[in-house]
Amino acid sequence: ASPILREKLEILAKIYNAVVGIVPPKYAVDNGVMIAWTGLLELKAGIIIDPEKAIVNQRWRLDEVDVTWK
C-alpha cells in the first residue's frame, strides 16, 4: 500500500481496535488477483451478488465500504 494509505489504515485500525495487514509489495502488483481474492472471501461467507445488481465505484473511500465477509 502507498505510505499515505498505510498511515490512514493504521489510524482507522487504532480507532476501531482492528489489525492492519499489508500485502508484501511483491504480491501487490495485480489488482485483479486482489479483487478475485475478496470475491472468494465473500463466496465462502455465503455472499453472492448478482452482477446486474453490482455497484462499481472506483472512488469509494475505505471508510464507506462495508466488509461483509468477516
Query: pLDDT tens digits for the chain (70 residues)?
Result: 688 988 999 999 999 999 998 888 887 777 888 888 888 999 999 999 899 998 888 888 878 888 887 7
Among 32, 44, 33, 51, which residue's Cα sits nearest to residue 70?
Answer: 44
DSSP string, 6-65: HHHHHHHHHHTT-------GGG-S-HHHHHHHHHHHHHHTT----GGG----TT--GGGS
Rounded to two decimals, what is the model's pTM?
0.54
Q: How far apart are CA 15 and CA 22, in angstroms?
A: 18
Cell numbers placing 16: 476501531
